Amino acid sequence: MVESGPAAGLRIDLARASGDYRTGANEVPVQRTLASVLRPGQVFYDVGSNIGFFALLASRLVGRSGRVYAFEPVKANAEAIRRNAELNRFRHLEVLEVAVSDRNGSARLLLSAHPGGATLSNDDAPPDPTGVVDVSTVTLDALVASRRIAPPDVVKIDVEGAEEAVLAGMTDTLTGHRPTLVCELDSADSAVLEQKIATFRAFADARAYRVTDLPTSYAETSWHVYHAVARPLEAPDWGQRSTG
């Protein structure tokens, strides 16, 4: 059971994941952000869900009238999310065992000893590789357009270097539905991370989103991790930006 924070009281099977999920210490600024932006009845996408900690928190926040979709291509993680949903009787949480990308098809997923370290990005190979597996890939635009999933109100993206592909595959969804984005970017190299941040900010700015940095969650580690929330600007600003 989660001991503290917005997720306190939720039941969780850690599988191989960090004990910070159980204590409630995992990425507290992200937890607080979700608690501040999600409302009952809304739709949340957890892209790169790991064992489903944030999907569980979102399921509590949106309630039974809402919907949560957890996207997780690693089979063991996807099974853990399903167990955790069952432990909390969250019938409105659905697991999609696929990788979100910029095209529908298949790709090679680089696996990691760390349960949340798998990636589609060859440029962000995990430091603790354990193998490669073929996985199905989907775009959020295609899923939304086909009505396979409900349009999102909030999307959290944590995909270990594949963020650009995820965003490229949801441009219609961003334009048509204007969800709030909560995104993690990371790298072993601080200069590489700064470039990722600049690219993300440029992408958001071009679509009339305002990016706000979140407090660091990993101040005491050598790995560089950045979290931000990107909120859509109001309609007048969006109209001015798109015509200018």
| 225-244 pLDDT, tens digit each | 999 999 999 754 444 443 33
* 103-124 mean pLDDT: 75
Chain-wide mean pLDDT for the chain? 90
Domain range holding 124?
20-243
- The answer to whether position 27 is within a domain reads yes
Answer yes or no: is 6 within a domain. Answer: no
Residue 14 belongs to some domain of the structure: no
Classify residue 108: in a domain, yes or no. yes
Distance CA(186)–CA(79), nearest Å, equals 26
- Cβ proximity of 157 and 181 under 8 Å: yes
Confidence of residue 115 (pLDDT cuts 50, 70, 90): low
Q: Find all residues with CB under 8 Å of 210, minimum gap 6, and list them.
A: 204, 230, 231, 232, 233
Q: Rounded to the nearest 10 degrees, how much is the dihedral formed by the CA atoms of 228, 234, 239, 242? A: 0
Q: Which pLDDT score, from 0 to 100, does residue 121 have? A: 65
* Residue 76 vs residues 46, 98, 153, 204, 209: alpha-carbon distances, Å: 17, 12, 28, 33, 35
Average pLDDT over residues 122-143: 82
Report the pLDDT averaged over residues 42-67.
97
Do the domain assignments include residue 10?
Answer: no
User: Where does the pLDDT of residue 54 fall: very low under 50, low under 70, confident under 90, or very high at 90 and above?
Assistant: very high
CATH number at residue 191: 3.40.50.150
Residue 151 has pLDDT above 70, yes or no: yes
1 within domain boundaries:
no
165 assigned to some structural domain: yes
- Give the pLDDT band (50/70/90) at residue 31: very high
Query: Tokens 């993206």 label which residue?
Result: 157
Mean pLDDT of 218-228: 86
Split into its structural domains, the chain has a count of 1
Is the predicted pLDDT of residue 86 greater than 70, yes or no?
yes
